[in-house]
């Protein structure tokens, strides 16, 4: 539960004073959860599992792993034994690292595997057994735990196993989401496990996941080898073979998590540590911040048409580069240095017209040096020692491809759709991508996920990230700017309505909290602007460390919750 809101109370009092009312926060402003020592932000009730592990003496890495395993029952929409993701870590000693446990294309995958006889994309990258890449989560968690955790592996898994077998009262959001999950209803095993064969869970019903608890228990006893070589691997590979899927025992055996150097960049007196390729999201955050720096974009105030105009223009320019240049770094050369080079950024910034939208047809990818022609969830942990972990992982679409391997109790990803099935044709997130991200055996698809850690004057300042496909980098950007350029509390920054532009389609979409007036002002600058069809863009979960407090902000768009001590 959020802590008592002093600001809300004081705002209510000040509201009646004409003299000071202009300085009071809006009445709906919310306070972050505050704590002195440690903080976890995750989809509820998984944040409680993280807190339990911290209180038992685990560090931030232990807590992150506990939360990650717990999300398989707390948030099966994305919680991702059958998927993959990224973890950004900054240790209290000042070193930082990045663990890439992104899914990989199986050995039988091929460049044109999702094209029909006429060369048009089929839906097989999204639905059915062929849509899954080799899951990476368990190997990634194992790597992080062995190298950086403090407790025993089995201790990190224990609370997730206990909750999956004992059960917990379904939060409203979980019950509703499971009831409405059509891809889950379409698969007999998923329907049995997640929808009680049609006797849907109601809010408050006790939900148990006994198959998942057994799978997690074997993983706790036998380590990640259980998932990649053991009974779990054999069951998964046999089900793939029986159903025309591609993943074999060899694919599982060969999967490796990769430790990479995070991308790092500067914005004012902040250092941003974020995800390198195969994520495009980290590059995006650094490029967009660098393009904004020094423009004075913030002068019109938070949510003003002039600020949103600049934000949309830097988004447009980043996404054009993203779609052209990025691919798995083990397969293609990513011109990262060129894309972040100050002269290149200055030229991109210089092409922004302060008063008019630049049509995307006139933008296109830039020419950085070194270029060759050629449903997700996020959580953050900070512990008492100052170790910080930011994790985003996913099954891609909500509930992945909706398939549960019989007896294993977890859903499979449809991450293969993040590859370019056909250059120039939009994927699930409308991204129109190029050759660098085409399918090859063992290759990892480009991701937008960008778990990020920020330092201020060299000291830990923020841990943030979020789900939302292509909208992840733009959402993280806006939440961060809301805190550092517009002085908002982390909770208000997370709650505030956001916009999104991704080059193609050439359009700004905005959440409904932004006024029709602002929409009209952006139209007058030449933007095609529309309100989101759905209620939200992407979510952001954030911890800010300021004034001796850890301030946790969960995103209400998807039942994010913060807890600390
Ligand atoms: O890696 C990516 O960019 C996507 N597979 C993330 C999917 C996602 O965020 C879905 N959640 N809303």
376 lines ligand 1 (CB under 6 A): yes
Do residues 530 and 17 lie in contact, with contact meaning Cβ atoms separated by under 8 Å?
Answer: no
Integer Cα distance of 351 and 73 in angstroms: 47
pLDDT for residue 24 is more than 60: no
Beta strands in 230-333 (DSSP E): 258-260, 263-267, 270-274
Alpha helices by DSSP H, 415-486: 472-484
Pocket test for ligand 1, best of 437, 469, 502, 541 (most atoms within 8 A of CB): 469
Which residue minimizes the CA distance to atom 2 of ligand 1?
447
User: How many CB atoms within 10 Å of residue 121?
Assistant: 18
Give, in order, the Cα–Cα distances in Å from 499 to each of 43, 47, 129: 23, 28, 34
46 lines ligand 1 (CB under 6 A): no
Rounded average pLDDT over 64-92: 94
DSSP assignment string, 176-196: HHHHT-HHHHTSHHHHHHHHG
Identify the band that residue 471 occupies on the pLDDT scale cut at 50, 70 and 90.
very high
Same fold, 1-14+37-278+376-497+540-565 and 281-325+336-371+499-536: no
pLDDT for residue 17 is more than 80: no
pLDDT for residue 22 is more than 60: no
Which sequence spans correspond to the domains of the chain? 1-14+37-278+376-497+540-565, 281-325+336-371+499-536
Identify the band that residue 16 occupies on the pLDDT scale cut at 50, 70 and 90.
very low
For the CA of 415, the nearest atom of ligand 1: 5
Q: Are β-strands 263-267 and 270-274 bridged in parallel, bridged antiparallel, or unpaired?
A: antiparallel
pLDDT for residue 558 is more than 90: no
Identify the band that residue 514 occupies on the pLDDT scale cut at 50, 70 and 90.
very high
48 lines ligand 1 (CB under 6 A): no
The confidence score (pLDDT) of residue 535 equals 59
SS3 per-residue string spanning 202-222: CCCCEECCHHHHHHHHHHHHH
Give the distance (Å) from ligand 1 centre to CA of residue 284.
15
SS3 per-residue string spanning 69-129: HHHHHHCCCCCCCCCEEEEEEECCCCCEEEEEECCECCCCCCCCCCECCCCCECCCCCCCH
556 vs 384, which has greater pLDDT? 384
DSSP classification of residue 45: T
Which residue minimizes the CA distance to atom 10 of ligand 1?
375
* Residues facing 121 on adjacent strands: 115
pLDDT for residue 25 is more than 90: no
Integer Cα distance of 523 and 503 in angstroms: 16
Burial 6-34 (b: 16+ CB within 10 A, else e): ebbeebeebeeeeeeeeebbeeebbbbbb
Asked if 376 is an active-site residue, the reply is yes
Q: Which of 13-22, 73-82, 285-294 has the lowest mean pLDDT?
A: 13-22
| The token pair that represents 387 in the structure block | 């170790």
Integer Cα distance of 552 and 2 in angstroms: 9
Pocket test for ligand 1, best of 396, 415, 450, 540 (most atoms within 8 A of CB): 396
Integer Cα distance of 395 and 409 in angstroms: 14
Pocket test for ligand 1, best of 80, 103, 375 (most atoms within 8 A of CB): 375
Give the distance (Å) from ligand 1 centre to CA of residue 540.
13
Pocket test for ligand 1, best of 275, 392, 472 (most atoms within 8 A of CB): 472
Tokens 């069951």: give the residue. 235
Give the distance (Å) from ligand 1 centre to CA of residue 278.
13
What does the pLDDT look like over 516-526, one tens digit per residue?
999 999 999 99
CATH number belonging to the domain at 1-14+37-278+376-497+540-565, selected among 3.40.630.40, 3.60.20.40, 3.40.190.10, 3.40.50.300: 3.60.20.40
537 lines ligand 1 (CB under 6 A): no
Give the distance (Å) from ligand 1 centre to CA of residue 450.
10
The confidence score (pLDDT) of residue 79 equals 78
Residue among 522, 362, 393, 533 at smallest CA distance from 70: 393
pTM: 0.94
Give the distance (Å) from ligand 1 centre to CA of residue 507.
20
Which residue minimizes the CA distance to atom 1 of ligand 1?
447
pLDDT for residue 364 is more than 90: no
Active-site residue among 376, 404, 420, 537? Answer: 376
**CATH 1.10.246.130 given to domain 281-325+336-371+499-536:** yes
Give the distance (Å) from ligand 1 centre to CA of residue 465.
12
Do residues 501 and 316 lie in contact, with contact meaning Cβ atoms separated by under 8 Å?
Answer: yes
Give the distance (Å) from ligand 1 centre to CA of residue 448.
7
Tell me the pLDDT of the chain averaged across its residues.
Answer: 92
Which residue minimizes the CA distance to atom 6 of ligand 1?
469
Give the distance (Å) from ligand 1 centre to CA of residue 484.
26
414 lines ligand 1 (CB under 6 A): no
Q: What percent of the chain has pLDDT over 90?
A: 86
Residue among 393, 278, 263, 390 at smallest CA distance from 325: 278
Integer Cα distance of 358 and 526 in angstroms: 8
375 lines ligand 1 (CB under 6 A): yes
469 lines ligand 1 (CB under 6 A): yes
Q: Which of 53-62, 170-179, 251-260, 342-351 has the lowest mean pLDDT?
A: 170-179
447 lines ligand 1 (CB under 6 A): yes
């Amino acid at each position: 539960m959020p802590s008592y809101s002093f600001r809300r109370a004081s705002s209510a009092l000040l509201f009646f004073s004409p003299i000071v009312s202009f300085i009071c926060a809006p009445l709906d402003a919310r306070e972050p959860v505050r704590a002195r020592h440690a903080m976890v932000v995750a989809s509820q009730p998984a944040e409680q599992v993280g807190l339990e592990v911290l209180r038992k003496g685990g560090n931030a890495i232990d807590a992150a792993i506990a939360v990650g395993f717990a999300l398989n029952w707390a948030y099966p929409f994305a919680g991702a034994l059958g998927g993959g993701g990224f973890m950004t870590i900054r240790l209290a000693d000042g070193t930082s690292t990045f663990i890439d446990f992104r899914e990989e294309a199986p050995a039988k995958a091929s460049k044109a595997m999702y094209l029909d006889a006429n060369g048009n994309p089929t839906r097989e990258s999204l639905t059915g057994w062929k849509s899954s890449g080799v899951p990476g989560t368990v190997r990634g968690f194992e790597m992080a735990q062995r190298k950086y955790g403090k407790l025993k592996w089995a201790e990190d898994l224990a609370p997730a196993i206990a909750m999956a077998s004992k059960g917990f009262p379904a939060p409203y959001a979980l019950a509703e989401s499971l009831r409405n999950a059509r891809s889950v209803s379409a698969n007999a095993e998923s329907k049995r496990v997640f929808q009680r064969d049609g006797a849907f869970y109601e809010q408050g019903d006790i939900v148990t996941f006994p198959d998942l608890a057994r799978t997690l228990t074997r993983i706790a006893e036998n380590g990640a080898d259980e998932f990649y070589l053991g009974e779990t691997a054999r069951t998964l590979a046999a089900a793939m073979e029986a159903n025309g899927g591609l993943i074999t025992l060899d694919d599982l055996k060969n999967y490796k998590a990769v430790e990479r150097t995070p991308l790092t960049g500067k914005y004012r007196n902040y250092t941003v540590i974020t995800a390198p390729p195969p994520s495009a999201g980290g590059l995006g955050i650094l490029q967009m911040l660098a393009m904004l720096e020094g423009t004075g974009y913030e002068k019109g105030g938070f949510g003003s048409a002039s600020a949103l105009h600049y934000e949309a223009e830097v988004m447009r320019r980043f996404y054009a580069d993203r779609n052209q240049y990025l691919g798995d770094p083990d397969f293609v050369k990513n011109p990262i240095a060129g894309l972040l080079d100050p002269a290149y950024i200055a030229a991109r910034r210089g092409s922004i017209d302060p008063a008019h939208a630049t049509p995307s047809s006139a933008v296109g990818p830039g020419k950085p040096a070194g270029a060759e022609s050629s449903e997700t969830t996020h959580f953050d942990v900070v512990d008492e020692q100052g170790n910080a972990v930011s994790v985003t992982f996913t099954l891609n679409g909500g509930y992945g491809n909706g398939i549960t391997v019989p007896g294993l109790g977890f859903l499979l990803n449809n991450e293969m759709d993040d590859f370019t099935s056909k250059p120039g044709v939009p994927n699930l997130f409308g991204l129109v991508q190029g050759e660098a991200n085409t399918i090859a055996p063992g290759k990892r698809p480009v991701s937008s996920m960008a778990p990020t850690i920020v330092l201020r004057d060299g000291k830990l300042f923020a841990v943030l990230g979020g789900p939302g496909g292509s909208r992840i980098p733009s959402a993280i950007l806006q939440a961060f700017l809301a805190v550092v350029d517009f002085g908002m509390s982390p909770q208000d920054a997370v709650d505030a309505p956001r916009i999104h532009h991704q080059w193609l389609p050439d359009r700004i979409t905005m959440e409904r909290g932004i006024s029709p007036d602002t929409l009209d002002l952006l139209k007058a600058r030449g933007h095609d602007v529309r309100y989101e069809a759905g209620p939200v863009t992407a979510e952001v979960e954030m911890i800010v460390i300021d004034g001796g407090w850890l301030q946790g902000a969960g995103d209400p768009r998807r039942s994010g919750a913060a807890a600390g001590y």
